[in-house]
């Protein structure tokens, strides 16, 4: 199941992220794709804030995983430089764990994604226009996506 929003300001994108952030539960996994400048960091910061993260969330470019405290632990992962498998890094724990995991560059670990996750794809459509596509994998995410659509 897929749904697409169009936003015309960064604030609108933040609002969407905030709505999603409020609905998240332990063990939720979200993948986040999109070209440079599409709004991945903008979205992630607002999502983290809605999870009660007070520290500044930056792109995890030079680390594979960053961990933040919030209403739920928030794990921000950049799989771009991942050379080992998830198992070697013990990342499976994050996927079934107590927190919310956002994975940038999920293409790098496509075969290691869990059965249930939300795929978010951000598209640059114009200077301040973005398309935000959400695809739900698994019944839990389908329900969450229905809720998010109504939010």
Does residue 19 belong to the site contacting Mg ion (CB under 5 A)? Answer: no
For ligand ADP, the binding residue among 1, 4, 9, 143 (CB under 6 A) is 9
CA nearest 86: which of 61, 57, 64, 118? Answer: 64
Q: Among ligand ADP, Mg ion, none, what binds residue 13 when CB lies within 5 to 8 Å by partner kind?
A: ligand ADP
10: Cβ–Cβ under 8 A, 6 or more apart, which residues?
Answer: 39, 42, 128
For Mg ion, the binding residue among 7, 31, 41, 42 (CB under 5 A) is 41
Does residue 40 belong to the site contacting Mg ion (CB under 5 A)? Answer: yes
In sequence order, the β-bridge partners of residue 68 are 74
Does residue 13 belong to the site contacting ligand ADP (CB under 6 A)? Answer: yes
Separation of alpha carbons 39 and 150, rounded Å: 22
Q: Closest CB to ligand ADP among 24 and 47?
A: 47
Bin 34: left if φ > 0, else alpha if -120 < ψ < 50, else beta: left
Q: How many residues bind ligand ADP (CB under 6 A)?
A: 16
Does residue 45 belong to the site contacting Mg ion (CB under 5 A)? Answer: no
Q: Closest CB to Mg ion among 55 and 149?
A: 55
Q: Among ligand ADP, Mg ion, none, what binds residue 121 when CB lies within 5 to 8 Å by partner kind?
A: none
How many C-beta atoms surround the C-beta of residue 10 within 10 A? Answer: 14
Does residue 70 belong to the site contacting ligand ADP (CB under 6 A)? Answer: no
Separation of alpha carbons 121 and 41, rounded Å: 12
In sequence order, the β-bridge partners of residue 107 are none
Instruction: State the residues that interact with ligand ADP by CB under 6 A.
Output: 7-10, 12-13, 34, 36-42, 128, 130
């Amino acid at each position: 199941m897929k749904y697409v929003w169009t936003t015309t300001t960064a604030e609108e994108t933040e609002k969407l992220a905030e709505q999603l952030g409020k609905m998240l539960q332990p063990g939720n996994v979200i993948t986040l794709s999109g070209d440079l400048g599409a709004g991945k960091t903008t979205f992630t910061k607002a999502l983290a804030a809605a999870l009660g993260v007070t520290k500044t969330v930056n792109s995890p470019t030079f680390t594979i995983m960053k961990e933040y405290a919030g209403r739920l632990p928030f794990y921000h992962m950049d799989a771009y430089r991942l050379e080992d498998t998830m198992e070697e890094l013990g990342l499976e724990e994050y996927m079934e764990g107590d927190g919310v995991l956002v994975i940038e560059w999920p293409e790098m670990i496509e075969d290691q994604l869990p059965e249930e996750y939300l795929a978010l794809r951000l598209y640059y459509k114009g200077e301040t226009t973005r398309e935000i596509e959400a695809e739900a994998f698994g019944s839990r995410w389908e329900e969450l996506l229905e809720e998010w659509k109504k939010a």
